[in-house]
Amino acid sequence: MTPTYRRTEALAVLVAMILVTITLSLATTPFGQIADPVRRTFGISDVKFSLLIGALFAVPSMVMSVGGGWLADRLSRRRLLIGALLVWTGGAIGTALASSYEQLAVARLLVASAAGVKFPLAMTWIADAFPAERRGKAVGALFVVIGVGPAIGAAISGIVVHAAQAGVFKDWPLLAGLEPWRQAVALLAASNLLLLPLIAVLRETRQRHSDTPEVASSDGRPALPLLLVGAMVLGSALFSLADTANLAWLPTVLSRQHGFDAQQVGFAFGAIATIAGSLGPIAAGYIDAWAYKRFGSPGRLRSCAIAALLCAPCLMAFGGSSAHVLIGALIVSGVISMMAMTLSFLAIQAALPPSKRGFGSGLANAVSNLASASAPTLVAMTSAVLPVGPGAIGVGVAVVAVGAFALNGVIYAMTATGLGRWERALH
């Protein structure tokens, strides 16, 4: 494929998507840090507040991940991103000005719905901006920020919330008279508007023909059977399920079974998440280029299969007695799993024609989020039927995560074989 973007234009797209990811976290992350002030203001229970950061956010975000992908395939991505940014910024500011719980809930729905558009839009724009041999590294960079973005958002939000509570903004125009938590939310949300000039000047040219052999570009329809595409989507979801199963229950396992205090738990969790979220996607960029060059399109899927089978034995450490072995195993499996997750989304994009990449990415993201949401409950239900006493949660995590990784290894190995046969049939 002849490049339609110059290198500087492609880098501008990537930088913009990275900055959007970070600033979006500023519109969403602070809500979890101001739970008590919000509860006092509206006189609501923990259950009602949990809906604001749980179902009322997750459900519309997943729905719009699919809908936003469909729109990204058909509308100007520049205008769509600007529109989404204005909506989630307006919704976040609306939470700062809400006078009732109902208004607060509606504002959060707006934020979640607009936020769901971002991922498929970013993936399709980067796919068009970068040629196949450099796309893996670009997507890897985006996934690094997706992984560490919430931590960056939490750190910045914490500074702003603390400053608001200290009265720094009490005399600022438009903020005077607002409660400190409202001041912080409004300021963090407004920071998103700073990106509008950058987005407005981004180059937008759509790729009309696929640069991968498994897609028939003559009529825009995928030559690859939907069954194989569906297997890739299922694979990415199983990676999400396994990762969430172990990370969601890790603090409980460390404190309940290994006697860690809150500080030790926080350090261990932060180290695992930061190392895995940073190194995994970076490694994916290099492995993608090598695997695609060496083995063609099936190379990505073979890499995912090997990664899943390497992760499975690592998670057996949840059933052991050593906390240090568990933490080390999770660092190793986390890096490998994040690498494979990035490769899985690259494989899904490569399996679809350009005109359907937005919808495909959005659907894969929604299914992965659904799998993540179900993982903690699946572990709890599994643990409840295991006759292993105090270590039930740890063993439950091991059963669910090891099973998911092992199944994923089989799925990706079979899908790689099927893809290879399909390509040979085309030739």
Q: How far apart are CA 404 and CA 67, in angstroms?
A: 28
**Cβ(250)–Cβ(269) below 8 Å:** yes
Q: How far apart are CA 147 and CA 161, in angstroms?
A: 23
Could you give all domains of the chain from N- to C-terminal order, each with its CATH number?
7-200 (1.20.1250.20), 226-426 (1.20.1250.20)
Backbone φ, ψ for residue 80 (5° rounding): -65, -45
Q: How far apart are CA 325 and CA 361, in angstroms?
A: 36
Per residue in 7-24, pLDDT (tens digit) is 999 999 999 999 999 999
Q: How far apart are CA 61 and CA 87, in angstroms?
A: 13
Question: Whose CA is closest to 3, among 88, 130, 150, 110?
Answer: 130
Name the residue with tokens 């979640």.
112
Averaged pLDDT, 28-35:
75
Give the SS3 label for residue 400.
Answer: helix
Name the residue with tokens 């979006």.
24
The one-letter amino acid code at 6 reads R
**Cβ(314)–Cβ(272) below 8 Å:** no
Averaged pLDDT, 337-354:
88
Give CA separation, 362 vs 116, 118, 125, 409, in Å.
8, 9, 13, 23
Q: What is the pLDDT of residue 265?
A: 81
Q: How far apart are CA 305 and CA 412, in angstroms?
A: 5
Per residue in 226-242, pLDDT (tens digit) is 888 899 999 999 999 99
pTM for the whole structure: 0.81
Residue 404 has pLDDT above 80, yes or no: yes
Identify the H or E element spanning 196.
helix 196-200
Mean pLDDT, the chain, whole residue set: 86
Lowest mean pLDDT among 140-149, 301-310, 382-391: 382-391
Using 50, 70 and 90 to split pLDDT, how confident is the model at 427?
low
Q: How far apart are CA 236 and CA 240, in angstroms?
A: 6
Using 50, 70 and 90 to split pLDDT, how confident is the model at 407?
very high
Residue 128 has pLDDT above 80, yes or no: yes
Using 50, 70 and 90 to split pLDDT, how confident is the model at 219?
very low
Give CA separation, 363 vs 119, 179, 245, 340, in Å.
11, 39, 21, 18
CA angle 402, 407, 413 (to 5 degrees): 130
Count the helix, strand and coil residues of the chain and give each as a percent rounded to the nearest 5.
80, 0, 20
Using 50, 70 and 90 to split pLDDT, how confident is the model at 223?
low
- One DSSP character per residue, 110-150 reads HHHHHHHHHHHHHHHHHHHHS-HHHHHHHHHHHHHHHHHHH
Q: What is the pLDDT of residue 208?
A: 57
Q: Six-digit token pair at 127?
A: 């796919």
Cβ atoms within 10 Å of 159's Cβ, excluding its own: 11
Per residue in 159-195, pLDDT (tens digit) is 888 899 899 998 898 888 899 999 999 999 999 999 9
- One DSSP character per residue, 311-330 reads HHHHGGGGGSS-HHHHHHHH
Q: Where are the alpha helices (DSSP H) in 259-297?
A: 262-295
Name the residue with tokens 């993608």.
288
Q: What is the pLDDT of residue 271?
A: 84
CA angle 417, 419, 420 (to 5 degrees): 65
Q: What is the largest CA-CA distance in the chain?
A: 71
Averaged pLDDT, 193-207:
88
Identify the H or E element spanning 44.
none
Q: What is the pLDDT of residue 1?
A: 46
Per residue in 270-296, pLDDT (tens digit) is 788 888 888 999 999 889 888 888 888
